[in-house]
Amino acid sequence: MTATGSHTIVAVVGARPNFPKVWPLLGALERCPLGRPILLHTGQHYDAAMSDQFFRDLELPPPDVFLGVGSGTHAAQTARTMLAFGEYLEQSPAELVIVVGDVNSTLACALTAAKMGVPVAHVEAGLRSYDRRMPEETNRLVVDHLSDLLFTPSADADQNLAREGIPAERVHFVGNVMIDTLKAHLPRARERWRELAAALDLERQGYLLATVHRPENVDREEGLVKLLDILQSAAQRLPVVLPLHPRTRERLASFGLLRDIEGNAGIRLIPPQGYLAFICLTENSRLCLTDSGGVQEETTFLGIPCLTLRENTERPVTVTRGTNAITGLDREAVLGAVEEVLSGRQKRGSIPDKWDGRAAERIAEVLAAWFAA
């Protein structure tokens, strides 16, 4: 399938966090003279039920290209993606490759395109945790330095890129495409509340929502034991709704901890949720506890307090401007922050600049001018 405009643009997705980031781009580019790009799914993380639910919720078109690279070690996954994407570009030359976020597919496709002389645009550029233990941090650094166009979600991202010597003319502060998707789908997400509330026996503002999946938190028994203790203690104050990521469930089972959490009446384990259901659960929660990057942004926009169970964040604007606080797995810090929220003493955040639902439009305008030049 070819692009509908006069330029051949390939937009890459590889995992669930990429889908909400690419959704507004497809529409914005289709509305401008460039036309809808070719949607290429690497299949980095592919679970039919989970991926299909996201595509339905976002009303994304089926991928034009599916590479089916599958999971594996970082090296194996990146290598397979590079091989498959390189073969695709040889058969179907492109004028621009758009990558989003920081997953392995983002790195692999950006590196392959750059080596083949195809310009790269990176959406969500400039984010830095300054923690090289995170594989995503390596991906961000490499992709940004390979990219011809860097679209940033916040002013701190521009500052990061300037410190690294990336020419200012490549960098464009456009805002957060995740918020474009959130604003557009919020009315439909709100329609899910009655169903979810009945199924889970929930009241608005009457529960905590938790998500945990990062390797540094769940791959070691010590980290998981700390997490369980935090969640079980928090559940004594309000019920905890926990959509259980497959990685987390596997680790809990392997360490013999799954029965402990399944047997806790205050913790409601549910399967991974689609986009609309998760946004609905987020907006109606009293507080979110998470190690996810996207949840930090969504809670900031929705005005929901958020505790990030990590030692750092690549999204500091959610702390300086938003509703987010960094606690790590410090039990006293987490539970103290929970008490502050429940007593109504949480900080009041604000929405960062250009998180207005028009980021993708700004990207389309920059791309149109770039092609014209």
Answer yes or no: do 158 and 205 share one domain.
no
Would 183 be classed as within a structural domain?
A: no
Would 361 be classed as within a structural domain?
A: yes
Is it the case that residue 127 has pLDDT exceeding 60? yes
Answer yes or no: do 116 and 194 share one domain.
no
Would 350 be classed as within a structural domain?
A: no
Would 315 be classed as within a structural domain?
A: yes
Would 4 be classed as within a structural domain?
A: no
Answer yes or no: do 290 and 362 share one domain.
no
Q: What is the DSSP string of 328-362?
A: TT-HHHHHHHHHHHHTT------PPTT-SS-HHHH
Would 116 be classed as within a structural domain?
A: yes
Answer yes or no: do 229 and 315 share one domain.
yes
pLDDT band at 348 (very low <50, low <70, confident <90, very high): confident
Answer yes or no: do 25 and 170 share one domain.
yes
Q: Which is more confidently placed, 3 or 257?
A: 257
Answer yes or no: do 208 and 114 share one domain.
no
The pLDDT value given to residue 363 = 98
Is it the case that residue 66 has pLDDT exceeding 70? yes
CATH of the domain at 75: 3.40.50.2000
Answer yes or no: do 161 and 267 share one domain.
no
Answer yes or no: do 216 and 277 share one domain.
yes
pLDDT in tens, 173-191: 999 999 999 999 999 999 9
Answer yes or no: do 322 and 220 share one domain.
yes
Residue type, 303: G
- 16: nearest Cα among 80, 103, 144, 112: 103
* Mean pLDDT (whole number) for 24-38: 91
Answer yes or no: do 31 and 95 share one domain.
yes
Give the alpha-carbon dihedral of 51, 56, 62, 66, to 10 degrees.
Answer: 0
Instruction: Find the range with the poorest average confidence among 27-36, 42-51, 120-129, 290-299.
Output: 42-51
- The bridge status of strand 120-123 relative to strand 171-173 is unpaired
The pLDDT value given to residue 50 = 62
Q: Which of 41, 172, 185, 213 is catalytic?
A: 213
Answer yes or no: do 115 and 17 share one domain.
yes
pLDDT in tens, 15-25: 888 999 999 99
Beginning with the edge strand found earlier in the chain, give each strand of the sheet holding 267-270 in spatial order. Answer: 267-270, 240-243, 208-211, 287-290, 306-308, 324-326
Answer yes or no: do 204 and 323 share one domain.
yes
Structural domain count of the chain: 2
Is-catalytic flag, 213?
Answer: yes
Would 167 be classed as within a structural domain?
A: yes
- Provide the domain limits for residue 151: 9-176+355-372
